[in-house]
Homo-oligomer: A and B are copies of this chain.
Amino acid sequence: MKRNTWQREAVKSALDAQEAFVSAQQLHATLRDDGTAIGLATVYRALSDLAAAGGADSLQSAEGEALYRACTPGQHHHHLICRNCGVTVEIEATHVEQWAKSIATEHGFTQPEHVVDVFGLCPECTALSAG
């Protein structure tokens, strides 16, 4: 049976409060800073449960860390991510969905899934780097 604990709630709402992709470590630090005493392992577990349940998106940073972000459940979407500050915009990619399916089929591949993410500098970071 699945139980509801304040820890899982805390992780969920801490993730909701983020506008950018964050690592488990960062989220753990944030929670601690907010006065929430929670174990690191628990944050890892809560995040991977959330991701498995579709309540969060995850991706790997260039350095290999796992990053998480709250998302609308059930929606398949992709991301436009600032490589400097991490700010994220959800984007739709109907075109790309179609393209991925057809290219897979062309080559005889089945059960296609795809990883599509766009990295760049957000307006703010662009301004900063220009100044």
Contacts and interface: CB of A to CB of B under 8 A. Distances in A.
How big is the A interface, by class?
20 to 34
Count of this chain's copies in the oligomeric assembly: 2
Given A64-B64, A66-B64, A112 B118 contact: yes
Contacts of A121: 109-111
Given A64-B64, A80-B104, A80-B109, A114 B114 contact: no
B113 A116 contact: no
Q: How would you classify the secondary structure of chain A's contact residues: helix, strand, loop or mixed?
A: strand
A118 B110 contact: no
Given A64-B64, A91-B103, A95-B99, A119 B108 contact: no
A118 B116 CA distance: 8
A117 B119 contact: no
Interface in A90-128: 91, 93, 95-96, 99-100, 103-104, 107-123, 126
24 contacts: A64-B66, A80-B104, A80-B109, A82-B109, A83-B113, A91-B107, A96-B96, A96-B116, A104-B118, A108-B122, A108-B126, A109-B123, A109-B126, A111-B121, A112-B118, A112-B120, A113-B118, A113-B120, A114-B116, A114-B117, A114-B118, A114-B119, A115-B117, A115-B118
